Amino acid sequence: MANGKEIWEEIAAREAYFGVATYDKYLAGGLDEKAKAEFFESGREHVDLVFTELESAFGSLGKPTKALDYGCGVGRVLLPLAERCGSVVGVDISAGMLEECRRNIDVAGLEAFELRTDQEFVAGKDAEFDLVHTYIVLQHVEPLIGYRIIEKMLKSLKPGGVGMIHLTHTDVAPIFKRLRSRVYRDIPFAHRVLSLVKREKRPFIPMYSYDMGRVAKLLESNGCLNKISIPTDHGYSGEMIFFSKNTTLTETSLAMSERL
């Protein structure tokens, strides 16, 4: 199973900002100070929304002691998250993304942070964070790998902690576009060959659909029984799932976790 590292290293080297938010203004050629400011402002708006939803569902968060941003990219969400939390841990599969994220952290003068690779995160301890978060990341990860990441994120959340996991479940593009994306995604080199022919420089970023029933079971078996969700649309329909982790595992959770 390909974990996508190669693709993301290539994107980080060529088009790190466009790879995060696919608007022409973020292409490397035109990324001026104004575009960069807009890029980071979009991350701040996202963090505001996440806090508003979590607090209206589960009550005041105060200042969470330690937060996780899984798939942090160049730090668009991690930087504003750091302003609201005691410390933040950013995780990414791409060394190039982590390097650019570190540069942005230095510019912002942030001190209470840590950056980890996906492998370091998986090997890390459980019950470490008060808040876990991932946005527009798992949609690009093969679900069989993605479910494992979700499980680890839920385990790494402390009892009483809160989180937001964003996932996609249905490709709603017209049939031709849907087939084309499948070919690019599933046939090695198809996109590379075509972009050479068409002299197209934009990277292809694969998308996947998750089984939301399976995700609901993962949440429940890890004690995240209180949850609400908001629909999203990135060409694929998806959901932002907001949840809180019970302070004690219920009998249902324990039974489910034994079965899974």
Residues forming the site for ligand SAM (CB under 6 A): 3-4, 8, 20, 43, 71-73, 76-77, 91-94, 97, 118, 135-137, 140-141, 145
Task: Report which secondary-structure segment, H or E, holds 10.
Answer: helix 5-20
Give the nearer residue to ligand SAM in terms of CB position, either 15 or 220: 15
Give the number of other Cβ atoms within 10 Å of residue 164's Cβ.
21
Query: Which of 12, 23, 21, 28 minimizes the C-alpha distance to 100?
Result: 12
Give the nearer residue to ligand SAM in terms of CB position, either 120 or 126: 120
**Residue 149 Cβ vs ligand SAM, minimum distance, rounded to whole Å:** 6
Give the nearer residue to ligand SAM in terms of CB position, either 16 or 157: 16
Ramachandran class of 127: left when φ > 0, alpha when ψ lies in -120 to 50, beta otherwise: left
Give the nearer residue to ligand SAM in terms of CB position, either 220 or 239: 239
Residue nearest to ligand SAM (CB): 73
Number of residues that this document lists for the chain: 260
Query: Which of 247, 243, 250, 249 minimizes the C-alpha distance to 131?
Result: 243
**Residue 253 Cβ vs ligand SAM, minimum distance, rounded to whole Å:** 26
**Residue 232 Cβ vs ligand SAM, minimum distance, rounded to whole Å:** 12
Is 135 in contact with 46 (CB distance < 8 Å)? yes
Amino acid symbol at 174: P
**Residue 115 Cβ vs ligand SAM, minimum distance, rounded to whole Å:** 12
